[in-house]
Amino acid sequence: MFKGIAKIFSKQNKDLRKRIYFTLFCLGFFALGLNITIPWANTVYSELHFLEIFNLMSGGGLRSFSIFGMGVSPYITASIITQLLQMDIIPYFKDLKEQGYVGRQKINKITRYLGIIIAFIQAYAISIFYLNGASGMDMLKTSLVMTAGTAFLLWMGDQISQKGIGNGQSLLIMAGILISLPSVFTSAYGAFIHGSFETGLGITLFGLFILSYVLIIVGIIWIQLAERRVPIQYSNRTNSAYGSQTSFLPIKINSAGVMPVIFASVLTTIPATIVAFTKNQAAINFVNNYIVYTSPTGLLLYIFLIFVFGYFYTFLSMNPEEMSKNLNKNGGYIPGVRPGEDTTKYISKSLSRLTLVGSLFLVILAGLPVVISMVTELPSNVTIGGTGILIVVGVAIETYKQIESSLTARSYAAKKKRFR
């Protein structure tokens, strides 16, 4: 790892350094924008615990009504909707999916527009709920400013993806969480050490809290790197020693990464948005007591959503039928399995089993801090810290892999040029 970091500063990787610096500049600009608040808006003190996940992903910008207070969470909600629509629900979206690159570009465009519409609806709902006594014009202005902030972040995320390194939207979410995490640990320290616990017990519980985060980091690194290698043989690629060339089809234990956690977290904010429009105290209490995942029923719903999105995202990104067709086109086959339908079933079965294991690990890692917080009655912003660290580590691993593959490609190109 450290050798890879050292390679970044070599002469041949000047272009990669520029991409990294551009990414860091954009993330720094995002952090700066979080400190620019809307003058006529008041500070948010959340009665809706669901909004804590918004606040976490936006770097604490929602509490202060920052121009970037909504973050890119509305885009994630829009992505969930458009991906669901591609599953034979609306023929138009299914046709776009089958059009390849051109279709994906159109879907991305629709997702951005839908994300901006959702951002305005959510911003207006939050304005109605929190800007007590404000005029309708102030609420509208606040909603428009926050929507514009989200639109700008979506554009900046695209620029990072094209001119920087990593996935722009994921990195913006990661940056927001990293900015928010110090307050999570500060709140936990205050609750354990200066709260209602005895000094010795408080120190022990705070130590266990830190240990749970260390376990999350180790666990997510292991689960992101673990994979099953399915042996593949190519009958049309022979060598003198063995007669046919053997390679492997790597299938990750957790092919979906941390996207199920992000999707589940963002999806649980929808009831809060609806309730904010009504300003009905009974509805607010129902959401906080039964749907928010700091409650037992809410935690079960959160676990269920992680499982559902784990399978959904895995089979969306890794289609067993397409994998089987590609193997057949290239003359590849799995030893002991017939090409065609049998291969599709074999890959699908392997994916299902591995996704079950991966989703179980995600549930344990995401649920551990929630259970600890429920037992010790910690503040809601501490409860969601486990989800935050899970997302941060997952995105960091994926970004590092992209940097590593870029370094490998440049190193290979340099060697090839040298031997010409």
Q: CA–CA distance from 370 to each of 101, 180, 410 (Å)?
A: 40, 17, 43
Helix, strand or coil for residue 244? Answer: coil
Q: Please measure the distance between the N-terminal and C-terminal CA atoms of the chain and give it in whole angstroms.
A: 30
Is there a contact between 393 and 292 (Cβ–Cβ < 8 Å)?
no
What was the pLDDT predicted at 190? 78
What was the pLDDT predicted at 371? 76
What was the pLDDT predicted at 376? 67
What was the pLDDT predicted at 240? 44
* CA nearest to 379, candidates 135, 46, 15, 25: 46
- What are the extents of the domains in the chain? 2-418
What was the pLDDT predicted at 246? 61
Is there a contact between 74 and 122 (Cβ–Cβ < 8 Å)?
yes
Would you state the torsion angle of the CA atoms of residues 75, 77, 83, 85, taken in this order, to the nearest 10 degrees? -120
What was the pLDDT predicted at 412? 62
How much is the pTM? 0.77
CATH of domain 2-418: 1.10.3370.10
What order of strands is seen across the sheet that includes strand 245-252? 245-252, 227-234, 332-333
The CA distance from 52 to 99, in Å, is: 39
Is there a contact between 53 and 74 (Cβ–Cβ < 8 Å)?
no
Helix, strand or coil for residue 333? Answer: strand
b or e along 346-368 (b: 16 or more beta carbons within 10 Å of the residue's beta carbon)?
A: bbbebbeebbeebbbbbbebbbb
What was the pLDDT predicted at 25? 92
**For every one of its 420 residues, what pLDDT tens digit does the chain have, with 9 covering 90 and above?**
555 555 666 666 778 888 889 999 999 999 888 888 887 766 555 544 566 777 777 777 777 778 888 888 888 888 888 877 777 667 777 787 777 778 888 888 888 889 899 889 888 887 877 776 667 788 888 889 889 999 999 999 989 988 888 888 888 888 888 888 787 778 777 777 776 667 677 788 778 878 877 887 887 788 777 888 888 887 655 554 444 456 888 888 877 777 787 778 777 777 777 776 776 778 777 877 777 776 788 888 888 888 888 888 887 777 788 888 888 887 777 888 888 888 888 888 888 888 888 888 888 877 777 777 777 666 666 666 666 777 788 788 888 888 887 777 766 666 656 655
Element (H, E) at 224: helix 199-225
